[in-house]
Structure 1
Amino acid sequence: MSELTAVLFDMDGTLLATEQYWDEALVELGAGWGTTVGPEALAATAGVDLDGAMAIVRAAVGVSRTPEQSAADHAWVVGRVEELMAGSVSWQPGARELLLACLAEGVRTALVTTTPRALVTHVLGHLRPDLGTEPFEVVVCGDEVPARKPDPAPYLQAMAALGLGPADCVVVEDSLTGSRAGLDAGCRVLGVPAGQVLPAEPGLTVGSTLVGVTPAALAALPYPVRA
């Protein structure tokens, strides 16, 4: 069996059911424009940074916004999601158990998310008392990286902070953009998609849930073999 030193977790939609908060805020934003944001547009925003997600939504509903209006929209969405996250966050099925198993077995953990630090702070404020411990050795947020997913920069930054290389790590993701970032960082990736299809790629293992996934199962994931 391969060695596993660290697991690098995505947050929204992977560990936590917080993707719905971004969807809710984007739907409300569209309603403020006098339009309806449909499920196909929302599905296309999975794993995309907020500016990219708003561009997808604008194109889907046929709305044009000035740079000033777009900046105001961005601030409004972040504020709305902050309100929702401050209320509560919920685990994805199997995620809490997998994270606790990693901590119990001495597998190092990192959180690598496109979400900005201010919102992640709210989330961690919920997770620490729930888990009874500090869940992540390293936290990399979307406003602290030179480029966002699907660029590998966030995962490369997390590995550098841990002092590890790709062979030591497994990435756990839910989106196409996140999986691409993990693969391009050289890591094995477990993808558990919700609403997206993840194509077969070397190094990517696609599952339907995190329920029953263990550190041993992650350690056994195949390494990417590329020409």
Structure 2
Amino acid sequence: MDGTLVETEQHWGEAMFALARRLGGEMSPEARERTVGTSMRTSLGILYADLGVSRGEAEMRADGRWIEDAVADLLTGPVTWRPGARELLTEARDAALPTALVTTTPRRLADLVLAQIQRDLPGLPAFDVTVCGDEVPVRKPDPAPYLQAMAALGVDAAGCVVLEDSLAGVTAGVAAGAAVLGVPSLQPLPPMPGLVLRDTLAGVRLADLAEVLAARDAVDACT
């Protein structure tokens, strides 16, 4: 969601940089890049290591709540769509294609963004299923969140295309057995089997997603 559909990933960056300053340091851009698409615990671990600080479990939980509150404050206005994302999601809805949102973002923050997405897409729900980071036992890059979404949709991975912008996300999608279209935002994505890379979703249509499936199937046929 953040960085794939809408331009909200930068809010997490702003909050992480602000927390670093509260802890008496400055987070490096390289460390921030490594946090993209990861869980709160992983992100905080990267931040602490970058700053050279040690925080206990209670302090980590408090820092996580501080980050979430800071991001919530930044999600009060309309969202800015990533190029092509709104058009592709609209086409999928019009075609009655089953869709799921799978995000590492906690439910309370995801719902703020989903409400704004829904205002931009009146009528049918934007997604048939939503899976948030605090609703799964393990998070991306583990495939479990995507497998949970597929089960809820009643679909098989063989017919699924995952859209992702982060390394954790594309890794999870590939591991789940889906075809994956990677559109990097703040983090470069390396080539990997089952992954098709595009600079943007602008101009991408449902027919193009069929080509992503075909590319994944071609890789499977060679292994």
Higher relative contact order (CA 8 A, sep 6+): 1
Residue aligned with 2:140, SS: coil
Q: Which of 206, 215, 220 is 1:215 aligned to?
A: 206
In the alignment, the residues of structure 2 paired with residue 83 and residue 195 of structure 1 have an alpha-carbon distance, to the nearest angstrom, of 21
**How far off is 1:143 after superposition?**
0.7
In structure 2, the residue matched to 1:65 is: 55
**How far off is 1:66 after superposition?**
2.0
Q: Deviations over 1:95-130 (max 9, x none)?
A: 111111111122221100001111111111111111
In structure 2, the residue matched to 1:163 is: 154
**Paired AA for residue 105 in structure 2:** T
Q: Deviations over 1:109-164 (max 9, x none)?
A: 11000011111111111111111131000000011112100000000000000100
In the alignment, the residues of structure 1 paired with residue 32 and residue 131 of structure 2 have an alpha-carbon distance, to the nearest angstrom, of 24
**Paired AA for residue 131 in structure 2:** V
In the alignment, the residues of structure 1 paired with residue 46 and residue 27 of structure 2 have an alpha-carbon distance, to the nearest angstrom, of 10
Task: Give unmatched runs, 5+ long, in structure 2.
Answer: none
**Paired AA for residue 46 in structure 1:** V
In structure 2, the residue matched to 1:128 is: 118
Q: Which of 3, 17, 23 is 1:27 aligned to?
A: 17
List structure 1 runs of 4+ shifted beyond 6 angstroms: none
Q: Does 1:183 align with 2:168?
A: no
Q: Which of 37, 40, 43 is 2:27 aligned to?
A: 37
**How far off is 1:201 after superposition?**
1.7
Q: Which of 86, 94, 102 is 1:112 aligned to?
A: 102
**Paired AA for residue 141 in structure 2:** P
Residue aligned with 2:99, SS: strand
Q: Deviations over 1:20-55 (max 9, x none)?
A: 111000011011111111211111111101111111
In the alignment, the residues of structure 1 paired with residue 70 and residue 187 of structure 2 have an alpha-carbon distance, to the nearest angstrom, of 25
Q: Which of 42, 49, 66 is 1:76 aligned to?
A: 66
**Paired AA for residue 143 in structure 1:** D
Task: Give unmatched runs, 5+ long, in structure 1.
Answer: 1-10
**Pairwise CA RMSD of aligned residues?**
1.2
Residue aligned with 1:124, SS: helix
Q: Does 1:92 align with 2:82?
A: yes
**Paired AA for residue 24 in structure 1:** E
In the alignment, the residues of structure 2 paired with residue 143 and residue 19 of structure 1 have an alpha-carbon distance, to the nearest angstrom, of 18
Q: Which has the higher helix share?
A: 2
Residue aligned with 1:220, SS: helix
Q: Deviations over 1:37-95 (max 9, x none)?
A: 12111111111011111110111121221222111101111111111113332211111
TM-score of the aligned structures, taking structure 1 as reference length: 0.92
* Worse overlay, 183-192 or 194-203: 194-203
In the alignment, the residues of structure 2 paired with residue 142 and residue 107 of structure 1 have an alpha-carbon distance, to the nearest angstrom, of 24
TM-score of the aligned structures, taking structure 2 as reference length: 0.94
Q: Does 1:153 align with 2:163?
A: no
**How far off is 1:195 after superposition?**
3.3
